[in-house]
Amino acid sequence: MNRTQLTTSADLTREEVDFFIKEAENLRTQRTKDLDGVIVASLFFEPSTRTRLSFESAVHRLGGRLITVANASSTSMKKGEALNDTIRVIEKYADILVMRHPKEGSAAEAIQHTDKPFLNGGDGANQHPTQALLDMYTIQRECGGIDGKAIGFVGDLKFGRTVHSLLYLLALYKVKKVIFISPTQLKIPNYYLDMLKEKGIEYMEDSELNKHVPEMDILYMTRIQQERFENLEEYYFLKGSYILTSDVVRMGKPTMRVMHPLPRVDEITMEVDGMDQAAYFRQSENGIYMRMALLKTLWKNYNQ
Ligand code: NCD
């Protein structure tokens, strides 16, 4: 594998996904200094807690150094600077770039202006490939494998970029079924359904959750993405569409795992947190090891 940039999970291969999962597992227990003296620019032009801090923690654990934008309004973007110019300048200040940006397609645009290792930390409602990889790592750890599993996605499937990214990776495996549960206004874009169809993966759509829980191996809950709504009244109407309680979790198999990219607003009640099925805090920890694996590998490939 000679990858040095990651903007979408659409171009990852199964070999790469398996490699990154293995590498993340190795890095869980090893402290290597693969980024000794390397400067990573952590550019977050849109709010983030986990993605930014787990990337930054990963850089520290690998012995690297950081320069950070944690707030778009503190940069020249606020003065009207184009993304192209920002990237051209920052790629001279740093050895690796990690970027989150509110605009769909911004990651693809950014790599037009740099050959340095680049990782997309989320571009609008489009893609979030490092989350997809840490989600695959979590499924592997929690369920002992990905082939043969039934996965239910619940909530905002229209704007949820983590769902969009994860679907490309699931399609590389022999998953049993994908179940999409959402209000009709927030359905998964047809584009992703066509992609599953093409890969021969069975799927179904519904707006009701409870009756599908018993067949799920993974219940992947998402937040209604308030910031993507043009009309806030619609958001308030749809908010609270699905609230996962311990009673609903108990309708599922004891081995079912509940995942959520976090942050949670109100879609999983706190009483679920103590159940074995609740995997979301373990999932967010897995993000550190997966991001270490990505940083280490892309940097190594760049220097070969
Ligand atoms: C997600 C994101 O930013 O897309 N969060 C994350 O990266 N862990 C999901 C969300 O914001 O709902």
Does the pLDDT of residue 223 top 90, yes or no?
A: yes
pLDDT at 75: 82
Between CA 13 and CA 208 the distance in angstroms is 33
**pLDDT value for 235:** 96
Average pLDDT, the chain: 96
Each residue's pLDDT tens digit, 281-292: 999 999 999 999
Residue 179 to residue 177: CA distance in whole angstroms: 6
- Under 8 Å between Cβ of 128 and 15: no
> DSSP for 111-172?
GGG--S-EEEEEETTTB-HHHHHHHHHHHHHHHS-STT-EEEEES-TTT-HHHHHHHHHHTT
Q: Across residues 285-303, what is the average pLDDT?
A: 98
**Ligand 1 center–CA 32 separation, angstroms:** 28
**Residue 76, pLDDT score:** 82
- Determine whether the shortest distance from the Cβ of 212 to ligand 1 is under 6 A: no
Tokens of 138: 């979590």
Is the CATH number of domain 129-284 3.90.1150.10? no
Residue nearest to atom 9 of ligand 1 (CA): 261
Print the SS3 string covering 210-274: HHHHHHCCEEEECCCCHHHCCCHHHHHHHCCCCCECHHHHHCCCCCCEEECCCCCCCCECHHHHH
What would the pLDDT profile of 245-254 be if each residue is shown by its tens digit?
Answer: 999 999 999 9
pTM summary value: 0.97
Atom of ligand 1 at shortest range from CA of 100: 3
Helix (H), strand (E) counts: the chain: 10, 10
Q: How far is the CA of 105 from the centre of ligand 1 (A)?
A: 17
pLDDT at 73: 82
Q: What residues are annotated to the active site?
A: 50-51, 79, 100, 128
pLDDT at residue 257, as a whole number: 98
Q: Which atom of ligand 1 is nearest to the CA of 262?
A: 8
Mean pLDDT of 138-147: 98
173 near 165, Cβ under 8 Å? no
| Same fold flag, 5-127+286-302 and 129-284 | yes
- The CATH number of 5-127+286-302 is 3.40.50.1370
Give residue limits of the domains in the chain. Answer: 5-127+286-302, 129-284
pLDDT of residue 206: 98
CB of 161 shorter than 6 A to ligand 1: yes
Question: What are residue 152's phi and psi, to 5 degrees?
Answer: -105, 125
> What is the band of 269 on the pLDDT scale with cuts at 50, 70, 90?
very high
User: Alpha-carbon distance 205 to 196, whole Å?
Assistant: 13
73-98 residue pLDDT tens: 888 878 888 999 999 999 999 999 99
Kindly give the number of the ligand 1 atom that is closest to the alpha carbon of 161. Answer: 4
Task: Give the distance (Å) from ligand 1 centre to CA of residue 262.
Answer: 6
- The percentage of residues in the chain with a pLDDT greater than 70, rounded to a whole number, is 100
Is the shortest distance between the CB of 50 and ligand 1 below 6 Å? Answer: yes
- Find the 303 Cα to ligand 1 centroid distance in Å: 31
Instruction: Pick the atom of ligand 1 nearest to 131's CA.
Output: 7
What is the distance between the alpha carbons of residues 102 and 280, in angstroms, rounded to a whole number? 24
